Structure 1
């Protein structure tokens, strides 16, 4: 069996491929049509104008649902593996799921409210995506530390820690460079500025901020690659339960018994 067909690893793989394609395709279209600069524009700048705006919003919304599904399966996996006596770890796992939901909602907000629409809604969506998303990664690193070596080896923990450090450095750099850029251009509406020229006042801070944003986005995407070995251990099955209730005889049916059938199929009756 091919590696991507083992367990549910196709879910994080699809999330990584689709999310990467979302960012790169909208960037390629925006640059080709002259709607964004070739030299590292902001991610939101590549989804501001039509047609890349439609592509970006549509694909990013699907990425949000793929991310939510991946994080829910991860939550159920940890829940099944954690011992009943480890109530603290169960609470941490539930907290991680809530943060993942907030981050996914933030992605949907970003997908539907671009910089040219309601800027406050767009910034709120970005904050919901990156803030809870960063906390989600840090909590998952802590869960991985508690669950090794009984569930996975140290290489999984090491890879998640490396991606976590990458994300942390990116978000700190993004915050600092953004503040410097706004300070350098107090009379300019930086939030809606799309085109930048080399040598322009604030260009270096903008470049550092944009690079940090792309780095942060791909660090988030790369984190889900570390789920592949864990998801290969999940087997999903669909269980059908048939219930029959004998009803009273009705004259219309000439004394024949009527049977009522009810089928239920739990979607996640999986085994780890």
Structure 2
């Protein structure tokens, strides 16, 4: 959960050293468009996507274990949240793989996959928390997740409105691929507000994951291997040899002794 802030610190430091844009003047995707910060951005964003996917899966299994199978509507809501979380995590990988200056359409597609389903994931999980209280947790965590959901919604609204104003002030320019803005330039203020809203939206996702910390302290998952055979050969003759080998008068009776 602490990897996304670490991402920004790493590639912002690299960008500042090479006199690239500061984060307060650029959307989150713009800070990963030039070398070397684009390399750090892509690598660590993929790590964040993996950790986010793990978080989504653990949350899904925890809710599934707590509620009964007869609560079909809550089970469906939990599964829907899991799917939205998976899509959002895949979107992060798309953003990391296709930089804004190389393939703008794929970068925007990945951003839409990340922020759209991600915002819906927050909404669905807040609904799950509402349905689960007061049986499994108090109202405090519900209000915390609801507050983060409102924060996310406001960030989306501000991002949409400021982006529209920015495009209206600079008609005819390819604003999407413009990386450097000067104070006083037409469209600079809406661009600044839009960049701040995008950062705010990203950090609202991180803060929502923080609300799972205390819940995850009450669950542990394990992987249990189940052997289909006592060897790794792929031809049937070995199976026949093993079959005849253990059928004598002195062969052990318990499978655990083999």
- Calculate the TM-score normalised by the size of structure 2: 0.88
Query: Do the aligned partners of residues 155 and 179 (structure 1) sit closer, same or farther apart at CA in structure 2, a change above 3 Å counting?
Result: same
Q: Which residues in structure 2 correspond to 1:156-167 (within 5 Å)?
A: 156-167=141-152
The answer on 1:236 being equivalent to 2:221 is: yes
Q: Which residues in structure 2 correspond to 1:1-150 (within 5 Å)?
A: 15=1, 17-37=2-22, 39-150=24-135
Per-residue Cα deviation, 1:148-178 (whole angstroms, up to 9, x for no partner) = 1111111111110111111110011001111
The answer on 1:169 being equivalent to 2:154 is: yes
Whole-Å separation in 1 of the counterparts to 2:23 and 2:91: 26
Q: Which of the two has higher C-alpha Rg?
A: 2
Per-residue Cα deviation, 1:66-102 (whole angstroms, up to 9, x for no partner) = 0001001101111111122210111111111111111
Whole-Å separation in 2 of the counterparts to 1:235 and 1:47: 36
Per-residue Cα deviation, 1:180-209 (whole angstroms, up to 9, x for no partner) = 111111121111111111111001100110
- The structure 1 residue matched to 2:243, chosen from 238, 248, 260, is 248
RMSD value, Cα: 2.6
User: Is contact 1:249-1:256 (8 Å) kept?
Assistant: no
Q: Secondary structure in 1 aligned to 2:243?
A: coil
- Calculate the TM-score normalised by the size of structure 1: 0.83
Higher relative contact order (CA 8 A, sep 6+): 1
5+ residue gaps, structure 2, are 231-238
- Count of residues paired in the alignment: 245
Query: Do the aligned partners of residues 39 and 67 (structure 1) sit closer, same or farther apart at CA in structure 2, a change above 3 Å counting?
Result: closer
User: Of Structure 1 and Structure 2, which has the larger fraction of its residues in strand?
Assistant: 1
5+ residue gaps, structure 1, are 1-14, 263-272
